Amino acid sequence: PLDGFRVIDFTIALSGPLATALLADQGASVIKVERPGVGDIARWTGTAHNGMTAVFLAANRGKRSISIDLTTPGGRDIALKLIEQADVVVQNFRPGVMEKLGLGYAAAKQCNPDVIYVSVSGYGSSGPYRDRSAYDTSIQGYAGFAANQAGHDGSPRFLHQLAADKVTSLFASQAITAALLARLRGKCGQHIELSMAEAVTSFLWVD
């Protein structure tokens, strides 16, 4: 169903990469942008073989990858050219990082007014936790997964899954396809913002 749509993937770890992998499963052309020499940190999470782990392979299936140094003017220009040809751009850096690189929504919209730009963060783009790094366990604790799994003694327990990342990925992929449908119906591009904390809270709310 997504054949012909192009996604530029600036994400790392799991919450962003799994969302774009789901789009690739549905036929989208996904181009993953990675940092030279290091790549996505998920390449090194667990036992790696030839620079790839099982987590990285599972979350980046069906994609093509390009290495770009986004901190250089030349790298930024290449990234903007990719964005110019994209239907969807997804990034999951801390709020403000892409803006400092000159690749935030304002810059993307200037070269591609119809782009669907997706920002995934840990705790949202505003508020006291805005600049905090987010990990699956910290979100499980903050947003309620750990408390929801509390034992008989009341002690919170983590799910033995990267559940916060995975739930966020599902919310993100659904929001992206909804935005693409809206655009096909005559709406313009838009900026989708979602956080892992909000995704987990929403998931648990209907309990």
Residues designated catalytic: 165
CA 124 – CA 110 distance, rounded (Å)? 23
Cβ neighbors of 117 (< 8 A, separation 6 or more) are: 88, 89, 105, 108, 109, 189, 190, 191, 192
Can you state the percent helix, strand and coil of the chain, rounding each to 5?
Answer: 45, 15, 40
Cβ neighbors of 46 (< 8 A, separation 6 or more) are: 53, 54, 55
83 within 8 A of 103, measured Cβ to Cβ: yes
